[in-house]
Structure 1
Amino acid sequence: MWQKLLLACAPVGALLFIACSSSSTTTQTPSASGDTDSGTPPGTDDGDGDDAGKVPTGQVVCTSGKKWSSPERGVKMNPGLACIACHSSTTKEGPILQIGGTVFPTFNEEDYCYGIDGTKDDVKVVITDADGTEHELPVGPTGNFSALVTDATIKMPIHAKVVANGQERVMQAEQTTGDCNSCHTEKGKNGAPGRITTP
């Protein structure tokens, strides 16, 4: 069965162990890309419907049919772009973030395309920091989530998961950056399969 996964910025070649939210957990053999190998080739659907349309196909889409426009600022801005690339103590182009990213319905979504509407859907991103403290980050109307430096300190390295309607898409590999979209691009970089998606 194709496993549900959240791949944040893992170094190339990192060994990833992916977990599902099902009641039982099975050990999977990681593939070269770090995804678990369940016998179903990447880019195909195993028939259970869980990941239909989510596995990487290479075709970039905009599922929502809505795109962000530059005059619009705040929580809606720049879905899909690397948040901390601008929201840092170095660039000072807005509030300084510890964590930032966008949740989409599929892996290959266009930059600026609206992602999951967290104000309507029961979805959040949960970050577990180096101290074992969980930080729940709400998802906004364009799919963006973030943690400001003025929020509780999130100590690196971190683990991340997306929780939606009682299901989870989990990443087990430790991450040392909170700039999630720097790897979760339209087609994925540094071993990420593409966008952060819901379970």
Structure 2
Amino acid sequence: MNRDTTQMTRALNSILMPVTLSTVVVLSAGCTGDDVAEVSTDVCSSGLQWVGGDSESPEMHPGRDCIGCHTDRGEGPRFTSAGTVFLTYDEADDCFGVEGVDVSVTDSTGATLTMTTNAAGNFYFEEESFVPPVTARVSYAGGSLEMTTAVPSANCASCHTVEGLNGAP
């Protein structure tokens, strides 16, 4: 892990950790349904994992490439930007992320659209179009992190993966 990634990890944890822990307690206390399983925090930092397979749900497959899957299979809505906000950068696919994070995408025209993450940490824009290149900002509990470099795609999972493709954390 390079210095920039280490600093970003610490910053993200300082923004998300205090509120996330209380959110996990609330989620774990409630009914998780058939599509979500409680797992060890060694498996998923949230303690929750998607087990619903490809059943249609806005909470399905956190961390996976939503745009690629919906495009390749020709199923579900067409997304112009989508992703999952996690507590850690190395979270496995299908682990629940953080609910209630505002994700703002700004395109080359200066237009900014914001979506709030759902219970799985997923966010998506369906009909909105973005003029590349784009940047994104995540805001939660009074703190925020912003991309420092504009990228040619609003498909967050094309770079932000467990491996951190193209230098992305």
TMscore range, shorter length = 0.7 to 0.9
Contact 1:130 1:155 in 2 (8 A): yes
Query: For this pair of structures, how many residues does the alignment match?
Result: 141
Structure with more contact order per residue of length (Cα contacts < 8 Å, sep ≥ 6): 1
Per-residue displacement from partner, 1:139-181 (whole Å, max 9, x unpaired)?
A: 1110001111x2x322111110101122110102111112212
TM (norm. structure 1) is: 0.62
1:99 match: 81
CA positional deviation for 1:96: 0.6
1:4 match: none
> RMSD of the TM alignment (CA)?
2.8
> Is residue 93 of structure 2 the alignment partner of residue 111 of structure 1?
yes
**CA gap 1:66/1:94 in 2 versus in 1, 3 angstroms:** same
Alpha-carbon distance in structure 1 between the residues aligned to 2:45 and 2:138: 19
2:112 match: 134
Contact 2:130 2:154 in 1 (8 A): no
CA positional deviation for 1:80: 0.6
Of 47, 50, 53, the match for 2:14: 50
Question: Could you say which structure has the higher helix fraction?
Answer: 2
Displaced runs of 4+ in structure 1, greater than 4 A? none
2:158 match: 182
Q: Which runs of 5+ in 2 are unaligned?
A: 18-41
> Is residue 62 of structure 2 the alignment partner of residue 79 of structure 1?
yes
TM (norm. structure 2) is: 0.72
Contact 2:90 2:163 in 1 (8 A): yes
Match for 1:136: what amino acid?
Answer: T
